[in-house]
């Protein structure tokens, strides 16, 4: 039996104990591990629903932190991922190109407002915010305007887990530190 199958065979309490002794979950303090952190072991997802080890269904109302907009187990997406993985699953974009990335960039630019001429890919929201901050900062430096070093953000905002993204957010627990 492989390791994932062994984990799937665990009951909820055993899964939770094993997880909380090996994984540091986002937005948690180490003092919460292993005892006080509420944790729902999830076996699978279908559409907008998650299924826990105990068989209970949970509405994934945040789309797995806003990255799973089309639901879990969407056949068309899984099939497309499978086809692409058999051809090329990943290549670094620094100095390389590939047809799916180029086709998507062209499609996005067709829909973008006038004046936007390039697409920059990031693999997560935190990295996208970090790169946007960096691009904005360097754009002003490259124009000879080194005085623009501050950013504005909306109240109650959360922009990700990197230091730059946390410093732009408005959640006191993170903003005080970063």
SS3 3: helix
CATH number of 3-75: 3.90.1150.10
pLDDT in tens, the chain (178 residues): 799 999 989 988 899 888 888 888 887 777 777 667 778 999 999 999 999 999 999 999 988 777 788 999 999 999 999 999 999 999 988 999 999 999 999 999 999 999 999 999 998 888 999 999 999 999 999 999 988 888 888 888 888 888 888 888 888 877 777 7
Give φ, ψ of 107 to 5 degrees.
-65, -40
pLDDT at 69: 84
Give the torsion sign (CA, 77, 82, 87, 88): positive
- Asked whether the beta carbons of 56 and 30 are under 8 A apart, the reply is no
Between CA 7 and CA 1 the distance in angstroms is 10
Single pTM value for the model: 0.73
pLDDT at 3: 92
Between CA 45 and CA 67 the distance in angstroms is 14
Domain spans of the chain? 3-75, 90-121, 122-178
pLDDT at 172: 82
Which helix or strand (DSSP H or E) is residue 158 part of? none
pLDDT at 34: 67
pLDDT at 159: 85
């Amino acid at each position: 039996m492989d390791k994932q199958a062994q984990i799937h065979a665990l009951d909820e309490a055993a899964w939770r104990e094993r997880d909380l002794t090996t994984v540091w979950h986002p937005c948690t303090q180490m003092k919460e591990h292993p005892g006080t952190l509420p944790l729902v072991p999830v076996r699978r997802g279908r559409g907008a629903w998650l299924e826990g080890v105990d068989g209970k269904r949970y509405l994934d109302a945040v789309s797995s932190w806003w990255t799973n907009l089309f639901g879990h187990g969407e056949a068309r997406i899984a099939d497309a991922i499978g086809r692409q993985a058999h051809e090329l699953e990943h290549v670094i974009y620094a100095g390389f190109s590939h047809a799916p990335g180029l086709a998507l960039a062209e499609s996005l630019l067709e829909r973008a407002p006038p004046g936007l001429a390039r697409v920059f890919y990031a693999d997560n929201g935190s990295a996208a915010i970090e790169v946007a901050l960096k691009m904005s900062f360097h754009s002003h430096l490259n124009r000879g305007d080194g005085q623009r070093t501050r950013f504005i953000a909306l109240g109650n905002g959360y922009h990700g887990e990197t230091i730059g993204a946390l410093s732009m957010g408005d959640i006191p627990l993170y903003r005080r530190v970063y």
